Amino acid sequence: MENNLLSTNVAGLQLENPTILASGVLGYSAESLNRVAKGGAGGVVTKSIGIEPRVGYPNPTVVQAEAGIINAMGLPNPGIDVYAQEIKFCKTLLRVPVIVSVFGYSADEYATVAKKAVAAGADAVELNVSCPHVQFTGAEIGQNPKHLAEVVEKVKAAIGKPILVKLSPNVADITVTARAAVEAGADVLTAVNTLKAMAIDSETMRPILSNLKGGLSGPAVKPVALRCVYDVREALPDVPIIGCGGITDWKDAVEFMLAGASAVQVGTAIGLENPEVFQTITKGVEVYLRKKNYRSVKEIVNLAHRS
């Protein structure tokens, strides 16, 4: 049953509540995505899928950092032709929107994967143009407004479902890439992917991750991600934004909405807690809204921008 207080709509995606599983976390099998949906997520984003299978980087691929984790998984995925079956299975199991994260090495590859994902039943695609540590894809595209626009335009021409673009925080001015994505046809901006980072072991005197560098997520990045959402909202008053970066509790979620996000993605907090984190966040947001006498979560979006 629809809960009017918490339900929202992001570019046509109807969400029972504004919490969404972030890409890359528990994001492959329909069963694990369903576990997250049952834990209270209003929507799910899959791990990023490309045209061909990729093994990813050798271990270690994850290292604990202060107030977060650094990962360099290296885009492991089974390829869209195999994963299409899992998307179909997701659509039979899950009662929440399924957003398929897509990557490619060219605009044409992004479009091909997106088209196959939608044909398999994806409710929307999220273009991963921001992985900070895989060559020739990810941030190499998302940090370049011209390449980014080309990818979004090609995908827009290929599919009729909402296109989310996941922005990189590893840029001088996030509003430049945000604007390029929107002008090329992005329906929603997800802000943001992980911050480029590394860890060094003082005993071995070597970088810990096999890839040397990776992406930092978790509470450590929250203030940066929050600033990114705020900046994008100031520059682009109308585009729906989904906040992502260190969201762990209801207060974080509320702060991102006040900054301009219509919904939030939760990733690292699942590892630290469990899939029920979605329910916990949603309940906290509900208590906050009631206490402040709001009738809908939509009413608090952007309020930090009032003069």
Quick one: DSSP state of residue 232? H
Taking the complex as a whole, how short is the minimal distance between the CB of residue 237 and ligand RRO, in angstroms? Answer: 27
Among 13, 75, 225, 236, binds ligand RRO (CB under 6 A): 75
Q: Is 215 in the site for ligand RRO (CB under 6 A)?
A: yes
Taking the complex as a whole, how short is the minimal distance between the CB of residue 100 and ligand RRO, in angstroms? Answer: 13
Q: Is 131 in the site for ligand RRO (CB under 6 A)?
A: yes
Taking the complex as a whole, how short is the minimal distance between the CB of residue 48 and ligand RRO, in angstroms? Answer: 4
Among 6, 10, 24, 86, binds ligand RRO (CB under 6 A): 24
Residues 114, 211: Cα–Cα separation, whole Å: 28
Q: Is 152 in the site for ligand RRO (CB under 6 A)?
A: no
Amino acid sitting at position 304: A
Q: Which is nearer to ligand RRO, 105 or 288 (CB)?
A: 105
List Cβ neighbours of 223 (8 Å cut-off, separation of 6 or more).
none
> Which parts of 94-240 fold into alpha helices (H)?
107-120, 139-142, 145-158, 174-183, 222-235
Q: Is 193 in the site for ligand RRO (CB under 6 A)?
A: yes
CB 302 within 8 Å of CB 233: yes
Among 72, 94, 220, 239, binds ligand RRO (CB under 6 A): 72
Strands 68-71 and 62-65: antiparallel
Six-digit token pair at 120? Answer: 């398999």
Q: Which listed residue (90, 131, 228, 244) is catalytic?
A: 131
CB 23 within 8 Å of CB 126: yes
- Span near ligand RRO by CB under 6 A; candidates 91-99, 112-120, 124-132, 220-228: 124-132
Angle CA 123–13–80, to nearest 5: 20
DSSP 3-state assignment of 64?
strand
Taking the complex as a whole, how short is the minimal distance between the CB of residue 101 and ligand RRO, in angstroms? Answer: 8
Taking the complex as a whole, how short is the minimal distance between the CB of residue 214 and ligand RRO, in angstroms? Answer: 6
Q: Which is nearer to ligand RRO, 217 or 262 (CB)?
A: 217
With contacts defined by CB under 6 A, how many residues of the chain interact with ligand RRO? Answer: 13
DSSP 3-state assignment of 254?
helix
Residues 244, 221: Cα–Cα separation, whole Å: 10
Q: Is 34 in the site for ligand RRO (CB under 6 A)?
A: no
The binding track of 224-243 with respect to ligand RRO, each residue x by CB under 6 A or -, is --------------------
Burial class (CB in 10 A: 0-12, 13-18, 19+), 157: exposed
Angle CA 284–288–289, to nearest 5: 120
Q: Is 151 in the site for ligand RRO (CB under 6 A)?
A: no
DSSP 3-state assignment of 235?
helix
Q: Which is nearer to ligand RRO, 40 or 43 (CB)?
A: 43
Segment holding 219, helix H or strand E: none
- Span near ligand RRO by CB under 6 A; candidates 4-12, 128-136, 142-150, 297-305: 128-136
228 tagged catalytic: no
Q: Which residue is nearest to ligand RRO (CB)?
A: 215
Residues at the contact surface with ligand RRO, assessed by CB under 6 A = 24, 48, 71-75, 128, 130-131, 193-194, 215
Catalytic residues: 131
